Amino acid sequence: MATSTDAGFTKIAGEADCKLDVRSVDQSALDLLFAELHRLAAEIEARRGVRVVLGPESAGTPTPMNPALIAALERSTHAQGIAYRRMPSGGGHDASAFQKAGIPSAMLFVRNQNGSHNPSESMRWEDFDAACSTLMHFASQT
């Protein structure tokens, strides 16, 4: 997300704000990315004579989900004949807190046509039904 102050269509802004959401399940990848971000900020400052303020970083450590539960969810999708995509999530979901507390955890995402966490978020009933079928089969097998 980016915003600027005093910017018109043909006017150069005096200040711009940008927010960046970076996620990964690999801590070393996050470390490299943030190091590169700081390096680029310093390079831009030197080259352009501007000030780059990166501001506070909010980050948690990646938490891998339980492999046995992931495999059980995958078996449940296969048993139901449901297509799926394994999708690592670097988000700070409740499942991450449970996993860190020693409670085996996994996540099942429901397909969403317009992306999540926005006012246009929606899902088709078929996708909701597929997730429910997977979850019911999973629960009956574990």
Q: Are 90 and 62 in contact (CB under 8 A)?
A: yes
Domain with CATH 1.10.150.900 in the chain: 67-141
Q: What is the mean pLDDT of residues 124-138?
A: 94
Would the pTM of this model clear 0.75, i.e. be above it? no
Q: What is the pLDDT of residues 57-114, one digit of tens each?
A: 777 788 889 999 999 999 999 999 999 999 888 666 788 889 989 999 999 998 888 7
For the domain made up of 67-141, the CATH class stated in words is mainly alpha
**Distance between CA atoms of residues 90 and 111, nearest Å:** 17
Alpha carbon dihedral 89, 93, 98, 101, in 10-degree steps, equals 90
